[in-house]
Structure 1
Amino acid sequence: MRKIISSMVPVAWLLSLLGLGIAVAQPVGTNSQVLIAATLVAGMLVLWMSGPRSNERRLLLMALALAAIGRYAYWRTVSTLPDSSDLANFIPGVALYAVEMFAMVILLLSLFVVLKPKSRPARATMAGPASDAALPTVDVFVPTYNESAELLTVTLAAAISMDYPADKLTVYLLDDGGTDEKRLSADPVVAHEANLRQRMLTKLCDELGAVYLAREKNVSAKAGNLNAALPRTSGDLIAVFDADHAPVRDFLRKTVHHFAEDAKLFLVQTPHFFLNPDPIEKNLGLFKRMPSENEMFYGVVQRGLDSWGAAYFCGSAAVLRRTALETVGGFSGTSITEDCETALTLHGRGWRSRYVDQPLIAGLQPETFGSFIGQRSRWCQGMLQIMLLKNPLFVRGLTMAQRICYLSSGLFWLFPFMRLTFMVAPLLFIFFDLRIYQASLQEFLAYTCTYMLANVMLQNYLYGDVRWPWISELYEYVQSIYLIRAIAAVIRNPRSPIFAVTAKGALIEQDRLSTLARPYLMFFCVLLVATLWCAARWYLEPTSRDLLLALGGWNVLNLVVAGLALGVVTERAERRRNQRLSISRKGALNIGETAIDVVVEDVSSSGVRIRPLGLETAKLPKAASIGTLTLDGSRQAGLAVVVRRRIPDARGICLGLEFMALAPSQMRTVADLMYADASALSSFRESRRKSVGVVGGSLNVIRWSIESSVRALGHAARRPEPATPITAANDAGTAGNAPSSIDSPPRDAISAA
């Protein structure tokens, strides 16, 4: 009965939308529309401000917003299209209309996905002989291609240190950089590097207690790497971590119990959490102030997918059931996003998934704008490959709700067409007097402005804690210019894209303009000229003032987003090699015969900051003092450290300590220090989840846009030589393809194969 009711929900949703459409599609005059719009917006405000948010209030606010949006869609359809006899206006006018209607379809699909987000309480299995005996065996897969030993050491040490019975946990390093194909390559340089890498990583695994595996040939990228390990391992469950995704100590305790509760469960996915900012956050200086960009997906969308039984595999930070994978021949590799494709296949076979919304891993994001674009190109192409080669509408076994969810996730990646159309559309009238949008100023205010206001209010209500106003527009715009070519390559040949790694861990010696900045500078200048030309036309053409005012305002909004994007492509220096995590852990610093009680306040894989307790400043150890740091409650040995500096702050004096020549086995102690307590990750995530409201967020964006424009144009005027990142460690999960350039997206990601 529950399954029948669940399958009826999408139908009821569609019927409700149809009824709402009939209600709003009633012709009224402009004055009446103003009254209707004001009533709808006022109703949204009342719901917004009237107490705690319930599911009922959420649904009612969504209905009011959809009524306002529906009024706009009806008016846009029947009143604003150019006459078909005037092809110069009609063709671009219909194109803009089609893009707008498609954007509304995407909006409706996304609203369905987040109609009732599910919150699963995080709980852990109890430790003890009786409960441990019933636990399943777990194989941990850490796929790698050319990541550094330093990066892999941290991830492997954290995985091995997870709280789980030792006889039921095996950690495997799946190295696609040391395959037989590479070690026996005709190229002596490739062969030498592959053999050296294999020896080095084999020794690393032996010292840490992991198992090194390499396959014969580099085929099918990450999916092929994972599949090659399946017949060589035997665990009941498989945990997958990218090479830069270190798990917290209780990762398995908080995930594996779900499989005992549901025999048809194939996946438990947890969010990806990052210790470093992406290029947008870093270059705009917003990392610790604004919710992370992926928070919207992991904080709301994935929870919504979970409520419809459609939470999907995200490539890492997940546990999967081996028997489920074996029923479909392992991980799917038709597309370059094997994670979502695998989940789609298994959902179609009747297997189920769950999403646990608690950060249980800490990873790295691409630092440079070029590597960011390369990563998003791969995601975009992979999701579109799934839409073209394994369209969820035609996959047997999916529920209607699952089809809608997968359709929403795939069609989202067509946003570059929508975003660039909306950026270019007002220019057609401003520069060429093409009247592709037939409306008076009064109608524009009554319908269009109401639609935009209702949409912004709805987005802020649903996602305000995880996404600030206009930030989605910024992320979409900065990706769109390069993703258009990536999309075209997939449409031309769906099988042409190849898996390319995403560069991680880059260090940039000085502030500079990205080598990809030119189109953003050019388009900003075009929008700025358009704004000035629109103002001149408004003064010189009194009969066109209404339309010029409306489209000029639209163009100014685009100019603000484009100005903000200039701040994104003006890259700030990044000299920190290892990212730090704020924690609070008691311990002791032993120097000679002196033991100093301390609190560890932050930590990285290379050192810690500690705060001495109850010690006078004069008695603090001097720089270059060597000692041992031990941790309260730790089962691991102490760490050899050297005092590097004193750090005064409002609470006193802290000490910066650097780890001294740690052996791989000692990295387990560092992993215990960094990842013993998952609450450190949750606390950092919650500290960034702050809603700023529509007005406050809009004012912030305007200010940041002005500052970013000035900074970028200053760099462009000086025309500095581009700085070269001095090191890079590429992201995990790649196999069989060379890494992309650290400062440019993979060529195959943005052009035809």
Structure 2
Amino acid sequence: MGVAMSLLRFLSFLLLGGVAVALATQPVSVQAQLATSVSVIFLLALLWKFSRGAEARQLFIALALFVVLRYVYWRITSTLPPLSDPVGLTCGSILLAAELYCVAMLLLTLVVNAEPLKREPAPQIEDEALPTIDVLVPSYDENASILATTLAAAKSMDYPADRLNIFLLDDGGTDQKCAHPDPAIAERARARRAALQELCAALGCYYLTRERNEHAKAGNLNAALEHVSGDIVVVLDADHAPFRSFLRETIGYFFEDDRLFLVQTPHVFLNPDPIEQNLRTFRRMPSENEMFYGVTQRGLDKWNAAFFCGSAALLRRAALDEAGGFSGVSVTEDCETALELHAQGWTSVYVDKPLVAGLQPDTFASFIGQRVRWCQGMLQIFLLRNPLLKRGLEPLQRLGYLSSMSFWFFPFPRLVFMLAPLAFILFDVKIFVSNIEEAIAYTATYVVVNAMLQNYLFGKVRWPWVSELYEYCQGVFLTKAIVSVFLRPRSPAFNVTTKGLPQTQDRLSELAWPFFAIYGLLALGAGVAVYRCVAEPGVRQLMFFVGLWNMFNLVTAGVALGAVAERRRRETHPRLPVERRGALALGEEHVRVAIEEVSAGGCRLRAATDADAKALAAAKEMEGRLYIDSIADAARRPSLSARIVGVAPDGRRHIAFTLSQPQDHLALADLMYGDATALERFQAARRKHKGIIAGTVQFLWWGVIEPLRAFAYLRPRASETALREPPAFADLSNLLGRRQPRLRPPAEAAAPRAAERAPSSKNENA
């Protein structure tokens, strides 16, 4: 029945598409085209202003598509250079192919996001009926304090303790690494293993490692499956800390569907990515991943095509066993695993509620490294497990996966759009044939309608022109990665994204030079365009139009210069606004406080009442303890060592924590990750709609000021940026409250398969 309904929907889309194409290919005059397009723009504005329901959404999309299809028909039939101009025809065909790719992606996006699904909350299950859960935290080289935070947060989740086991999967302490020919590498691996074993024991978690580092993250997870036996597997990246309610908000879905293999939740990040950091948009602009997690995954969920994203997810163990574990053909094992299980008839659920907080790459280079892996992995699946050819998938599942994979071809059209105007400006290569009237009637109205459509569908999760910026910044480097995948589909290797690097000075990214080169080329094109407009009246109209296109590219390239001009990071620990209560003990004074913001390094708080404010002001001690009103247990009051390090003019205190014991991380987990509504408020505060005009003005402003800042960074400096790898275990002696264990010689470095095997128990209710 489900297949029949899905096929019926697909055929309906095809039928409606055929009608739209028939209407869009009717020949009309330029004046009629302009009048029609302007009328559609006016209708879209009315719909936007006065109607936002489901029917209005479908009508908005249909009207916008009409203008898009009119433009595509005109471009194909009327704008290519003649055969007598082979250079122009070749360049024009490349540009047209890039545009057709974008239109195809637009159509796929509209199908996927035709009706994003908003799920009802999961049913709440009695404790005695809950399944056993194994939480797997794969790790390679992450800092110990990051691991301690994640493990403590996982250990603090609201779930029966006898049904929950937490495992650290340490790929940085394998037998292979402990016996490495380089003594320094081997010693670090043995130190890491011993320290993390002790950390896990102190937190009540299990430590797992394996003999060899094979098949990257998928291999690490599959090796762990041999030692765990829970009904449900939770996967958390090493820097992804779950909130207390994570399992209660998700586990109930498994009781509604026996064939459910996946419950995926969004990835929300507490620190800015490098572009957000360098443009100073964090906390006021939606994150770049919000469009995917806020809209696209909900759209995919409608068609049972929401896929595993590598972390913040629950998977049914029986489904993994049926599939032979986590797939490892590509370097994106998450999407590949989901594709295999969807093809076997399993179902998935996406819960659009932030329940896990993670970290993003700190530098532009690490950001690009992360995106290279994503790009290569998705294209590996496209080539080796193509969803159009995969048996068992429903039609709309195929389109959903195809959309997610085909997206990663964007570097080619993005760079074509950036450089195409220069062919005409610098070399007089006519890449399309048009006069100014046609350009306005077709191209200008198409650009306006496309911007309106994007802003209408994604305005709360993506500001105008931000997609163009991110695609350009990535496209400069992803083109080579794409070519390498097509030449050798099985060659890409899994690279671990570096996070938690301190940056103490302003600097240019080591990847900045191509952006300066392209900016200079576009600036040259802008100057030549102005000159030719003045000196060559015969091409003035067309040159003006192409010059505007080049000017927009110059603005985008200018904003990208700001993206690679890396600012010093003042925060060493990401902060989360919270609404918690507690008591600050300073000597004899015990003051009730409201905690407003917290990080792994400290918090900001204020006195709860006027009387408390007076007592706090009178306190002479600067060091004491912060007692937290626990969400988990009202009778329990976890505490942290606290030191006042600053007083704001309004009386708020800035507190520094000293995390000297593993139990301190459990207290921090209660304070920072105890209330998931804090993460919801954090996310909602960033989902601010930015209109097309306001967004364009903002983008133009960045295009003016960011190049100035980037060029200023070219000046010689007295010292270079201190970018160093933080020692993974330099803080463990403090963290564990004791000296580091003495290292064993290599002969004694046999890897423990598990600190302790988890209790074996099965619950068939899930």
Superposition TM-score, scaled by structure 2 size:
0.93
Answer whether contact 2:558 2:706 (CA < 8 A) is retained: yes
Tell me which moved more, 712-721 or 256-265. 712-721
> Taking every aligned residue pair, what percent have the same amino acid on both sides?
49
Matched, 1:289 2:284: yes
Matched, 1:660 2:658: yes
1:42 is displaced (CA, Å) by 1.0
SS of corresponding position for 1:539: helix
Amino acid at match of 2:626: L
Q: 2:89 is matched with which residue?
A: 90
CA distance in 2, matches of 1:40, 1:719: 55
1:681 corresponds to which of 671, 676, 679: 679
Any unmatched runs of 5+ in structure 1? 731-753
**1:539-590: CA deviation from partner (whole Å, max 9, x where unpaired):** 0111111110111111011111111111101110014221111101011111
Matched, 1:343 2:343: no
Matched, 1:181 2:176: yes
Matched, 1:648 2:643: no
Q: 1:739 is matched with which residue?
A: none
1:624 is displaced (CA, Å) by 6.2
Tell me which moved more, 522-531 or 300-309. 522-531
Aligned residues: 723
1:194 is displaced (CA, Å) by 1.3
1:628 corresponds to which of 625, 629, 634: 625
1:546 corresponds to which of 520, 541, 549: 541
**1:594-649: CA deviation from partner (whole Å, max 9, x where unpaired):** 21010111111121211113234585266862212112245455324233333325
2:709 corresponds to which of 708, 711, 717: 711
Within 5 Å, give how 1:142-541 maps onto structure 2: 142-541=137-536
CA distance in 1, matches of 2:713, 2:177: 43
Answer whether contact 1:608 1:658 (CA < 8 A) is retained: yes
Describe the shift of the 1:623–1:461 C-alpha distance in structure 2 as closer, same or farther (beyond 3 A): farther
Tell me which moved more, 623-632 or 715-724. 715-724
Q: 2:98 is matched with which residue?
A: 99
Answer whether contact 1:174 1:214 (CA < 8 A) is retained: yes
**1:169-214: CA deviation from partner (whole Å, max 9, x where unpaired):** 0000000011111122232222211111111000000000000000
**1:515-552: CA deviation from partner (whole Å, max 9, x where unpaired):** 11111111111111111110110101111111101111
Q: 1:22 is matched with which residue?
A: 22
Describe the shift of the 1:99–1:499 C-alpha distance in structure 2 as closer, same or farther (beyond 3 A): same
CA distance in 1, matches of 2:660, 2:554: 51
CA distance in 1, matches of 2:58, 2:204: 52
Describe the shift of the 1:188–1:726 C-alpha distance in structure 2 as closer, same or farther (beyond 3 A): closer
Q: 2:564 is matched with which residue?
A: 569
Answer whether contact 1:508 1:574 (CA < 8 A) is retained: yes
Tell me which moved more, 664-673 or 257-266. 664-673
**1:448-498: CA deviation from partner (whole Å, max 9, x where unpaired):** 001111100000000000000000000000000000111111011011110
Q: 1:13 is matched with which residue?
A: 13
Amino acid at match of 1:381: Q
1:73 is displaced (CA, Å) by 0.5
Q: 1:59 is matched with which residue?
A: 58
CA distance in 2, matches of 1:661, 1:311: 39
**1:272-329: CA deviation from partner (whole Å, max 9, x where unpaired):** 0000000111100100110111100000000000001000000000000000000010
Amino acid at match of 2:148: T
Q: 2:43 is matched with which residue?
A: 43
Answer whether contact 1:147 1:729 (CA < 8 A) is retained: no
CA distance in 2, matches of 1:460, 1:710: 29
Q: 1:744 is matched with which residue?
A: none
Answer whether contact 1:464 1:692 (CA < 8 A) is retained: yes
Answer whether contact 2:197 2:207 (CA < 8 A) is retained: yes
1:270 is displaced (CA, Å) by 0.1
SS of corresponding position for 1:380: helix
CA distance in 2, matches of 1:579, 1:645: 17
Amino acid at match of 2:98: V
Matched, 1:33 2:33: yes
Answer whether contact 2:630 2:637 (CA < 8 A) is retained: no
CA distance in 1, matches of 2:442, 2:640: 67
Amino acid at match of 2:313: A
1:398 is displaced (CA, Å) by 0.1
SS of corresponding position for 1:605: coil
Answer whether contact 1:623 1:644 (CA < 8 A) is retained: no
Answer whether contact 2:3 2:394 (CA < 8 A) is retained: no
CA distance in 1, matches of 2:372, 2:187: 32
SS of corresponding position for 1:473: helix
Answer whether contact 1:299 1:466 (CA < 8 A) is retained: yes
Give RMSD over aligned pairs: 1.5
1:500 is displaced (CA, Å) by 0.5
**1:400-454: CA deviation from partner (whole Å, max 9, x where unpaired):** 0000000000000000001000011110000000011100011001000011111
SS of corresponding position for 1:289: coil
Any unmatched runs of 5+ in structure 2? 729-766
SS of corresponding position for 2:210: coil
CA distance in 2, matches of 1:199, 1:552: 63
CA distance in 1, matches of 2:532, 2:491: 47
1:716 is displaced (CA, Å) by 2.1
SS of corresponding position for 2:388: helix
CA distance in 2, matches of 1:432, 1:169: 67
1:366 is displaced (CA, Å) by 0.5
1:727 is displaced (CA, Å) by 4.1
CA distance in 2, matches of 1:133, 1:257: 13
SS of corresponding position for 2:237: coil
Superposition TM-score, scaled by structure 1 size:
0.94
1:714 is displaced (CA, Å) by 1.7
CA distance in 1, matches of 2:671, 2:615: 28
Answer whether contact 1:151 1:729 (CA < 8 A) is retained: no
Amino acid at match of 1:711: R
Answer whether contact 1:512 1:570 (CA < 8 A) is retained: yes
Amino acid at match of 2:115: K
Describe the shift of the 1:503–1:213 C-alpha distance in structure 2 as closer, same or farther (beyond 3 A): same
Q: 1:691 is matched with which residue?
A: 689
Answer whether contact 1:158 1:248 (CA < 8 A) is retained: yes
Describe the shift of the 1:413–1:729 C-alpha distance in structure 2 as closer, same or farther (beyond 3 A): farther
CA distance in 1, matches of 2:640, 2:554: 54
